[in-house]
Structure 1
Amino acid sequence: MTGTLVLEQLLNGIGYGLMLFLLAAGLTLVFGIMDVLNLAHGSLFMAGAYLAAEAHTRTGSFTAAIVFAVLATVALALLLEVLLMRRLYARDHLAQVLATFGVILIADDLVKMAWGPSPVMAPTPSALSGPIEIIPGLPYPAYRLLILGAGVAVALGLWWLVNHTRIGMRVRAGASDRPMAEWMGVRVGRIFNGVFLLGAALAALAGALMGPIVAVQVGMGEQILIPALVVLVIGGIGSVRGAFVAALLVGVVDTIGRAFLPMALRATLPPATAADLGPLFAELAMYALMVGVLIFRPAGLFSPRT
Structure 2
Amino acid sequence: MNFSKLLCLVLVYSQQLGQVLANETPECEGKTDGNAVPCNGKKGGALKLKVKKTIASTEPDVTWEKDAALESDTKYKIDGVKNINLEIRSLDVPDEGEYKAKVSPEEKFQVKVVDCLGGTSASPAMCQGKLGGIIKLGLSDGTVDSISWKKGTGDVVAGEKYQGPVNEATLTIKDLDNDDEAKFTGGANSKEEHFSVQVADCFGGGAGKTVECNGKQGKNLKLRISGSVTGNSVTWAKEGGELPDGHDKKGTKDEGLILNSLTAPDAGTYTATYAPSVTESFTVKIAEPKASDGTTKKAPTTSGGGGGLSYSPALLVTVTLVHLLLQLAA
Interval of TM-score (by shorter of Structure 1 and Structure 2):
under 0.3
Name which structure has the greater RCO, CA cutoff 8 Å, separation 6+. Answer: 1
Greater radius of gyration (CA): 2
Larger strand percent: 2
Larger helix percent: 1
Q: Provide TM-score, normalisation by structure 1.
A: 0.24
Q: Provide TM-score, normalisation by structure 2.
A: 0.23
